[in-house]
Amino acid sequence: MKRQYQFLLLFILFQLNLLAQTKISGIVRDKDTKEPLHGASIFAPQTTNGGATDEKGLFSFTLIEGQTQVLISYVGYESVIVPASSFTATDRANVIYLSPTVNNLKEVVIKKISAKQRKKYMEIFNREFIGLGKIAEKTKILNPEVLQFDMNKENTLLIVTADAPILMINEKTGYFISYELAYFESRALKEEHNQKLTTFFGYPFFKDIVAEKKLDTKEVTKSRLKCYKGSTMHFIRSLYNGVMENEGFSVTKFTRELNPDYPSQDSIIKMMDNFRRTGKIPQIPLKHKVTYDKEYQKVHQLVFEREGKKYFYFTDFLSVIFRRAKEENKYTEYYHRAESEFQTSQLKLMEDTPIEIYADGTYAEVDHLGSFGYMGWKKMGEILPFDYQPEQEFSN
C-alpha cells in the first residue's frame, strides 16, 4: 500500500510538471524570399532558456511556467516578440517571418561625434547601464561599436541606441549576455544635485558559461547569491509568495512633499554671494519634506489577488529595507551617504494603477515601477535571469 501511495505521488508531481511546461516549435523564414533562416536566435527574454534555428530554419524547445513570450532575432533583420500562445498549430509548422532591416537615410540622421565625446558617453553608459558595483564592474561589453550616442544641446539628455544585440560577459556571475536594447535614456537632474534619472529597457538572453570557461562554481554561486539578495527580483518574489518579512524585508510608506520653507533660486544665489563675502555658511533647509508612516507594511496591504492573478499596489512612496546585507562602500561613497547597516531602497508607482506580479519575480508594465536607492543602483552587471533559483545552484 505504501508503495502505491508513493507511485501516486510521483504521478501527480509528474502531471503538475507537465502543466508547468509548454513545448513550442516552428520555422523562421525571410518575409520576402520565404527562405529559411539558419542560426536565428530564439529565446524567452531575461532567461537562460533558448537556442538557435538549424540549417532548415527549425527550432524546438520548452518554455517553463511564467515564460509567456519569446524573442526572435537575426542579424540584418527586425527582431520580433511572439506570444507563446501563437505556437498552437500541431498539424503544420508554426512559421515566423522576419523582415530585413531597412535603413531609411531620410529619417535617420547619424550625428558625428569625436573620439573624446564617444569615450565620455561610453563612460556614462557603462555607469548607468552596467553599474558600478564590485560584481558589475567585471562585466565587459564585447562589441561597443554597435552603440550609437546622441546628446542634446544642453548636455542633459543622453540617448543610446544599438544596431545589433549588445554582447556582454561577466565571469564573476558566470554569464554571457546578449541584450536587445529597446531604448536607453539618461537625464541629468540639476535640481537633484546633478543626479541622473536613467531608464532603459530591452530583452536579455543569458547563457551559463561556468562549464565552458571552467569557472569556480563556489565563487560563481556566491556572486549570484549576492546579486540576488535584496534585489527587485528577490523583493517581488517575496511579495508574490507572501514571505516578505521572512525574507528579510521591512517596508514603510512615506510621503515626499516640497518644503514650503525652501527658499527661491534667487534667495539661494543671494545666500551664496553673502557666503563668499562674509564666510558665513547659509542655513538652507531641505528641499523636500519626508514623512514616514509609524508602522511597517504587511504583505496583504501591498498585494491583492483577483481572478487568480496577484497585483502590487501602494500610494505615495515605499521605503524598502533589506536587513540581511549591507550596502557596498562604493555606493555610499558615490552618493556621499553615511554608511548604512542595511540596504535601503525606495519604490514608486509611476502610474496610479496596480501592476501584476509573477512568481519568478517579474512584473507587468516594467516602466510603471520606479526603483531608487540601492535597488536602483543595481544595473545590468548584477541582473540575473528570471529562471535563476538560488536553492538549485549547481545542485546537479
Model confidence at 294: pLDDT above 70: yes
Confidence of residue 91 (pLDDT cuts 50, 70, 90): low
- pLDDT confidence of residue 13: 39
What is the largest distance, in Å, between two alpha-carbon atoms of the chain?
93
The answer on pLDDT for 250 being more than 60 is: yes
C-alpha closest to that of 315 among 354, 283, 345, 278: 354
Place of cell 501591498: 302
Residue 126 bridge partners (DSSP): none
Least confident stretch, 64-78, 80-94, 96-110:
96-110
**290: number of Cβ within 10 Å:** 13
Rounded distance, CA 23 to CA 137, Å?
37
Rounded to the nearest integer, the mean pLDDT of the chain is 85
Least confident of 69-78, 174-183, 211-220: 69-78
| Predicted pLDDT of residue 111 | 65
Give me the percent of the chain exceeding a pLDDT of 70: 88
Which pLDDT belongs to residue 393? Answer: 63
3 state DSSP class of 14: helix
Secondary structure (3-state) at 288:
strand
Lowest mean pLDDT among 19-33, 137-151, 248-262: 19-33
**For residue 394, what is its C-alpha cell?**
549547481
Quick check: 138 and 172 in contact, CB under 8 A? yes
- Confirm if 235 and 320 have CB atoms less than 8 A apart: yes
Over residues 259-283, the pLDDT tens digits come to: 787 888 788 788 888 878 887 787 7
The pLDDT tens digits for 96-134 are: 899 988 754 444 455 678 899 999 999 999 999 999 999
pLDDT at residue 42 tops 80: yes
Question: Any idea which residue has 507594511 for its cell?
Answer: 297
CA distance linking residue 298 with residue 250, whole number of Å: 9
Q: Using CA atoms, how far apart are residues 297 and 129, in angstroms rounded to an integer?
A: 31
The rounded Cα 338 to chain-centroid distance in angstroms is 27
